[in-house]
A and B are shown apart, each in its own frame.
Chain A
Amino acid sequence: MKIKLEKLEVQSRGDKELIDITPEVERVVRDSGVKEGVVNILTMHTSSGIIVTEGLPCLEMDVLNHLEVLAPEEGDYYHSRYLDIDGRLGFNAGAHLKSILGGISAFFPIEDGQIVKGSRQRIYFAEYDGPLCRTYCVQVMGE
C-alpha cells in the first residue's frame, strides 16, 4: 500500500474566509499514483478548519456568518487571559470554537485515481483568525 503525505501552505488574506483547496487536493491525489484508496485532509491549526460544502459565494458567507452566531468573536471566554506558552493573551476563543464546530478534517474515497465526491462538493480551508500563513495536510493511502 502506498501512503503519501504532503504538507501544504495557504496564505489567508482576510480575517475570516473560506479558501477553495479542491484543486490542490486533487493534484496531490493525482501525483500519488494511488488508484484505489482514500484521501484525508487535516488542518494543522486549532483556529482554522476544513469544510466541505457547495462552491457558492453565498454559501461561503452563510457558513461564516452562522459560525459567528454560534461562536461569536466577542464573548465571555476563559481563554481571554495571558498565555505563557505564547507570550501573549489568548482572546481568540471564538476562532477555536468555530474550528470545533466546523470540523478540522475531511475524508474522501479514491476510485480509479479520482476523488469520489458529489459534483457540487468543494473542499475548503476555513480561516477563522486571519490573515495568516497556514499549513494543512493531505494524506493519500491506497494501491
Chain B
Amino acid sequence: MIDFHTHPLLVQEILEREPDLHRIARDVFYIRNRPQPLETFLLELDVSGLDRAVLLPIDASTTKGCQICSNELIAELCQMSDRFIGFASVDPHKESAVDDLEHAVKDLGLRGLKLSPPTQEFYPNDAELAYPIYEKAQDFGLPVVFHAGMSWEPRVKAKYGQPIHLEDVAYDFPDLNIVIAHFAWPWVLEAVMLALKYPNVYIDTSCLYFDNPVAFMRFVIGGQVPVSVIEKSLRYKVVFGSNYPRVEIKNMVKAVKSLGLSDGCLKLIFEENARRLLGEISG
C-alpha cells in the first residue's frame, strides 16, 4: 500500500545536512511540527499499514527564494530507504526547468513530478511557461502531482490552484497522467468532473481543512460527492495521499477506511491505482 502524498521536511537526518530546510518548513511551507528521526516516518507507515510513500518537493526558487526540499535531498532519502518513491519538482519560471527535470529523472532516479501552482505562482495552463515541462514529463512517462485547492502556506493564492485550469493540460497532453491533490478542496466537484471525463486525470485524498480527518473526509466524500461516485465511477482514479506531516498518515488511513467503500475499491485506492501511475503495473 502506498501513500502518494508526503513532504519529508522534518526528517532530522536531512535537517542536519540542510539546516535551512527547517526555516523553510516553518516559514514558507508553514509546517511547525517538531522534527523527527527518519525512523518515525517509517514507523508511521508501519502503524498505518502502508509499505511505501511518495516524497514530494516543491521548487519555489523564483517566488519564495527556496526549494521546499530539493530534488537532491529527495534522492538522498530514497537511498536511505527503499520504501520511498522520490518525485522531482522544477521551477516553471526558470529557463532550466526542462533540463532540471531531465537531470532529476536520468541522474537522480526520481519517478514523478510535483508542481504547486499556488506556491510557484503560475497557472498550470500557461502554455509558454509550463507546456515544455509537461512535454518532457510525458516523454518520460512521469505522473504529475498538482497541488490544487486551498493551501495553508501564507502569501499563497488559491486562484492558481483551481482545478479547471488543469483541463487544458489534460486535454492537450492525453498521455500525461495528472494527479489533482487534496481533492482540490473546495473545488471538489471540478476535480471530480475532470477525473470522470479525462482518462489521464486522477485525484488524491490528502484533504483536511477543518474538524478531524474522519469528519472532513466524510464531509467531502459522502457530503460534497456521494460515496457511490467513488465506488462506481472513480474507483480507478483515486489514490491515497495523507499530506504527512501536516496530517499523520495513520489518521488519513482511518478516515478513508471509514467511508464504507468496498474492500476492492480500497485496494485500488491504497495500492493498485498508485502502482499503475508509477508504471509498476499496466491496465
Give the B-binding residues of A (Cβ under 8 A): 11, 13-15, 74, 77, 80-82, 85-89, 91, 129-133
Contact = CB atoms under 8 A, between A and B. Distances in A.
Contact of A86 (B33, B44, B210): B33
Of all A-B residue pairs in the complex, the 4 with the closest CB atoms, nearest first, are A91-B212, A131-B43, A87-B30, A87-B31
Interface in B189-232: 208-215
A46 to B, nearest CB: 12
Provide the main secondary structure of the chain A interface.
Answer: loop
B65 to A, nearest CB: 19
8 contacts: A11-B40, A82-B152, A87-B26, A89-B247, A91-B212, A130-B43, A133-B37, A133-B40
Contacts of B47: 13-15, 130-131
Contacts of A86: 31-33
Contact of A11 (B31, B32, B39, B213): B39
A13 B36 CA distance: 13
A130 B248 CA distance: 9
B64 to A, nearest CB: 15
Interface residues of B, number: 29
B138 interface: no
B125 interface: no
Contacts of B46: 13, 131
Nearest to A86: B32
B61 interface: no
B250 interface: yes
Interface of B: 26, 29-33, 36-37, 39-40, 43-44, 46-47, 152, 208-215, 245-248, 250-251
Given A15-B47, A131-B43, A133-B40, A91 B211 contact: yes
A88 B43 contact: no
A132 B31 contact: no
B32 A89 contact: no
Contacts of A129: 248
Contacts of A13: 43, 46-47
Contact of B246 (A15, A85, A88, A131): A88
Given A13-B43, A88-B246, A132 B36 contact: yes
Contact of B37 (A11, A82, A85, A88): A11
Given A87-B30, A88-B247, A133 B39 contact: yes
A130 B41 CA distance: 11
Given A11-B37, A14-B47, A132-B36, A82 B209 contact: yes
Given A88-B246, A131-B40, A80 B215 contact: yes
Contacts of B250: 15
A88 B152 contact: yes
A11 B37 CA distance: 9
B43 A91 contact: no
Contacts of A91: 211-213, 251
B40 A82 contact: no
A80 B247 CA distance: 12
A96 to B, nearest CB: 13
Instruction: Give the one of A13, A91, A130 with max B CB within 10 A.
Output: A91
B100 to A, nearest CB: 27
Contact of B31 (A15, A88, A130, A131): A88
Nearest to B29: A87
A83 B153 CA distance: 13
Contacts of B210: 80-82, 89
A80 B215 CA distance: 10
